[in-house]
């Protein structure tokens, strides 16, 4: 049987690596073409890789929690199919470290392949593998000595056993990426946040009146996020300089309106699925696509491209009881809107016959924007514009 070296496939623009989450097959298992082999995670989404051939899973080249680059071989399958890949010469270059001619010669002589060489712990400068390192590895391998698997791509997870009242929990990959993204955003953008209160009484009453019938007729849950998105889109059309990004000293004005929806996952991490061309949908269309994206986001079923290309982001912080906040801009965008909890409040209501005191449903909008390119007038006016569209929302819309 020939060997097929299974590479980590390209998964979309800007995605260069992925973390192995879990293997769905064991070494020695027979797999059919299109059988799912392994679950992986990028900084965008989780997904699964299937086998492109019929054969036997001979060897897993990466363990759970290890990071593979796009194009790296992650598994070897034995197959009788003719298009299996050939042996990869040891002279292949490593992007991570240099291998001396002596080390390559020893590896070639001993039949050590490139992927295997990459797993050897190097004690030389910049983690280079020395003659001593490779000879030690060969000795251990020949004598079948079991040693802990070396992983130079990941941090070592550890628990401080001396601290009885503490537990050290290593961040998962998505949390680390999110942390780096947030720090980078704060370092890049001059964050300013404006706050506006909006009266959404008519919207709340409209939803309460039709939600049951709407769900019965369409099978879709009528959430208010669709209304928020529609009002944000209208405000962007009025004030298009919110829909921009920055490249050095150049301002890039976006013609398309792609709205990102910051979504909390069951494990506490955050993901931002994107409604592409949000201005092309009517309210029913927005309801359907929002429900679909959020449902698939929470079950790790989004495609990588569905989390890319956003031009403006909305975060529903009211869903976990917050009134307002100071959201961090999702780079390379320049603004983000946080929607707070809807509350009943005693309010002064202006009427032609005079002012009255009544109970109204109010909400805070928190608009963070990049003060390098968005002044307070534009940033504040945009938040107010969204509030006005919410207050003027046509509650007689036929959906």
371 included as an active-site residue: yes
The terminus-to-terminus CA distance of the chain in angstroms comes to 60
Cα separation, 242 vs 247, in Å, equals 15
375 included as an active-site residue: yes
Instruction: Report CA-CA distances (Å) from 10 to 87, 91, 95, 300, 367.
Output: 21, 23, 17, 18, 35
Nearest to residue 195, comparing CAs of 378, 388, 338, 362?
338
* 193 contact partners, CB below 8 Å, separation of at least 6: 326, 327, 366, 367, 368, 369
The one catalytic residue among 181, 191, 361, 371: 371
- Catalytic residue numbers, as ranges: 371, 375
């Amino acid at each position: 049987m020939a060997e097929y070296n299974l590479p980590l496939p390209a998964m979309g623009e800007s995605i260069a690596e992925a973390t192995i989450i879990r293997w769905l097959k064991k070494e020695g298992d027979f797999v059919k073409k299109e059988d799912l082999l392994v679950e992986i995670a990028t900084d965008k989404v989780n997904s699964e890789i299937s086998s492109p051939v019929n054969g036997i899973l001979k060897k897993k080249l990466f363990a759970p929690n290890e990071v593979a680059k796009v194009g790296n071989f992650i598994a070897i399958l034995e197959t009788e199919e003719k298009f299996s890949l050939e042996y990869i010469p040891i002279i292949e270059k490593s992007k991570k470290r240099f291998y001396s001619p002596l080390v390559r010669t020893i590896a070639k002589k001993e039949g050590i392949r490139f992927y295997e060489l990459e797993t050897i712990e190097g004690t030389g400068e910049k983690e280079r593998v020395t003659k001593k390192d490779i000879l030690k590895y060969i000795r251990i391998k020949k004598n079948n000595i079991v040693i802990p698997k070396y992983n130079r791509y990941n941090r070592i997870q550890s628990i401080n056993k001396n601290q009885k009242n503490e537990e050290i929990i290593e961040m998962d990959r998505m949390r680390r990426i999110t942390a780096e993204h947030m720090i980078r955003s704060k370092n890049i953008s001059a964050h300013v946040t404006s706050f506006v209160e909006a009266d959404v009484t008519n919207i709340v009453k409209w939803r309460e009146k039709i939600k049951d019938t709407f769900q019965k007729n369409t099978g879709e849950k009528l959430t208010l996020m669709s209304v928020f998105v529609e009002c944000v889109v209208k405000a962007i059309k009025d004030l298009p300089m919110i829909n921009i990004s920055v490249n050095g000293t150049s301002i890039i004005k976006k013609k398309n309106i792609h709205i990102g929806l910051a979504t909390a996952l069951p494990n506490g991490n955050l993901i931002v699925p994107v409604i592409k061309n949000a201005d092309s949908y009517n309210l029913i269309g927005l309801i359907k696509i929002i429900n679909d994206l959020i449902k698939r986001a929470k079950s790790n079923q989004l495609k990588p491209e569905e989390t890319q290309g956003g031009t403006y982001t909305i975060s529903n912080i009211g869903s976990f009881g917050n009134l307002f906040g100071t959201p961090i801009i999702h780079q390379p965008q320049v603004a983000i809107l946080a929607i707070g909890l809807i509350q009943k409040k005693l309010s002064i209501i202006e009427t032609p016959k005079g002012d009255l005191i009544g109970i109204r449903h109010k909400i805070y909008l928190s608009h963070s924007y990049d003060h390098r390119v968005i002044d307070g007038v534009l940033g504040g006016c945009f938040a107010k514009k969204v509030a006005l569209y919410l207050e003027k929302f046509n509650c007689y819309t036929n959906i």
